[in-house]
């Protein structure tokens, strides 16, 4: 079976949500779904035989690292087992030199780093495409693509939905990318931004989406608590955890962290909170969850977060295939 790559991605780095248009997204979703059907029917793919990917993860990960690696392997490619711990990063090697080194052994790099600016530093020296697997509190564009695939596959549409982004919207990079990707490419009905005081969506992200909201008549409401009326109105509840590693140690226990703890009751998603939800809606979370999403809804068919992480494998297969094929 041959798959059609998304031609506009060939040889390109994946840096930000803004680089994707509706045609790219629709094609990526179609490709990811075709790859899912193929793999789930027990077949294999050898499209990237002989190609090499190196993940450079300067921050912890369970899903993004492993799903990128599994995606490369399932396409027939190979993965270099580079670990920041135990590397010459500990001898003081700069990010640029580490990127130059691994880039010289690879066809594609996958970078996760706690600093927003690390991505630009890496792409300025890499000769091969770099996949942004999360740059600090900046963006997580492949997560937004897999989130969009999840909504499309689970609800059968993305246009016309009402979605609530909930939690630490200030430091959460997944919601920055997702808000940009969705508002720029889909005619949403309404977006609720539900964040504890001090953890609201950054103004620069709001500025980036303002023109699309106006042009597409997408309603936007910012609140501090997830009321039954909001839950009842939503097709998607997208929960996120407090990004506590992004707050300086000195601030631990201080403002934003304390605010989140205090506000947890207002944003917690659990069985009781879903009482006012529609029959056909989904609860999403990029994971890992901490205590903002209760395990008491895990067996509710509307809990889509474990399916969401699985869609990540197929979306990353579609991305790597399109970049490298």
Q: Which residues are catalytic?
A: 63-64, 91, 112, 140
Minimum CB–partner distance for residue 244 and ligand ASP (Å)? 10
Is 243 in contact with 214 (CB distance < 8 Å)? no
Q: Select from 12-20, 185-193, 197-205, 284-292 the region that touches ligand CP (CB under 6 A).
A: 284-292
Q: Which is nearer to ligand CP, 61 or 187 (CB)?
A: 61
Q: Read off the tokens for 204.
A: 């620069």
Query: Does residue number 289 form part of the binding site for ligand CP (CB under 6 A)?
Result: no
Residue 262: is it exposed, middle or buried by C-beta count within 10 angstroms (0-12/13-18/19+)? Answer: exposed
Nearer to ligand CP, 20 or 238 (CB): 238
Shortest reach from residue 148's CB to ligand CP, in Å: 14
Beta-strand relationship, 190-194 and 219-223: parallel
Of positions 13, 106, 143, 243, contacts ligand CP by CB under 6 A = 143
Pick out residues in 55-94 that bind ligand CP (CB under 6 A): 61-65
Beta-strand relationship, 219-223 and 236-239: unpaired
Q: Is 98 in the site for ligand CP (CB under 6 A)?
A: no
Interface with ligand ASP (CB under 6 A): 134, 140, 173-174, 240-241, 243, 286, 288
Question: Closer to ligand CP at the Cβ: 165 or 231?
Answer: 165
CB of 57 to ligand CP, least distance (A): 9
> The tokens of 320 are what?
């790597």
Q: Which helix (H) or strand (E) holds 97?
A: helix 95-103
Q: Does 13 bind ligand CP (CB under 6 A)?
A: no
CB-based burial of residue 282 (10 Å sphere; 0-12 exposed, 13-18 middle, 19+ buried)?
buried
Nearest to 29 by CA among 47, 4, 65: 4
b vs e for 175-197, b when ≥16 Cβ sit within 10 Å of the residue's Cβ? Answer: bbbbbbbbbbbbebbbbbbbbbe
Taking the complex as a whole, how short is the minimal distance between the CB of residue 73 and ligand CP, in angstroms? 17
Select 288 or 301, whichever has its Cβ closest to ligand ASP.
288
CB of 216 to ligand ASP, least distance (A): 26
Site for ligand CP in 32-51 (CB under 6 A): none
Identify any residues that bridge with 236 across adjacent strands, giving them in sequence order. Answer: 163, 282
286 is a site residue for ligand CP (CB under 6 A): yes
């Amino acid at each position: 079976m041959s798959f059609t790559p998304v031609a506009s991605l060939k040889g390109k780095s994946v840096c930000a949500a803004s680089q994707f248009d509706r045609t790219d997204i629709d094609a990526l979703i179609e490709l990811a779904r075709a790859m899912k059907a193929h793999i789930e029917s027990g077949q294999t793919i050898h499209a990237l035989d002989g190609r090499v990917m190196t993940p450079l993860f300067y921050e912890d990960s369970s899903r993004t690292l492993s799903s990128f690696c599994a995606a490369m392997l399932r396409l027939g490619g190979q993965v270099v087992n580079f670990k920041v711990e135990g590397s010459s990063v500990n001898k003081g090697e700069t990010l640029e030199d580490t990127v130059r080194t691994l880039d010289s052994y690879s066809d594609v790099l996958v970078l996760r780093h706690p600093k927003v600016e690390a991505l630009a530093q890496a792409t300025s020296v890499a000769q091969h495409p770099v996949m942004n697997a999360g740059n600090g509190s900046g963006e997580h564009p492949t997560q937004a693509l897999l989130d969009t695939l999840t909504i499309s596959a689970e609800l059968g549409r993305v246009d016309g939905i009402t979605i609530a982004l909930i939690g630490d919207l200030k430091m959460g990079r997944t919601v920055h990318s997702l808000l940009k990707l969705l508002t720029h490419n889909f005619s949403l009905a309404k977006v609720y931004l539900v964040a504890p005081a001090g953890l609201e969506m950054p103004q620069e992200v709001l500025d980036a989406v303002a023109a699309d909201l106006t042009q597409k008549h997408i309603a936007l409401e910012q609140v501090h608590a997830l009321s039954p009326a909001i839950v009842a109105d939503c097709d998607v509840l997208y929960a996120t955890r407090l990004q506590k590693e992004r707050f300086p140690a000195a601030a631990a226990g201080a403002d934003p962290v304390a605010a989140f703890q205090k506000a947890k009751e207002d944003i917690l998603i659990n069985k009781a909170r879903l009482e006012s939800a529609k029959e056909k809606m989904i609860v999403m979370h990029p994971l890992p969850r901490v205590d903002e999403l209760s395990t008491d809804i895990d067996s509710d068919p509307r809990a889509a977060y474990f399916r969401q992480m699985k869609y990540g494998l197929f979306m990353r297969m579609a991305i790597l295939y399109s970049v490298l094929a």
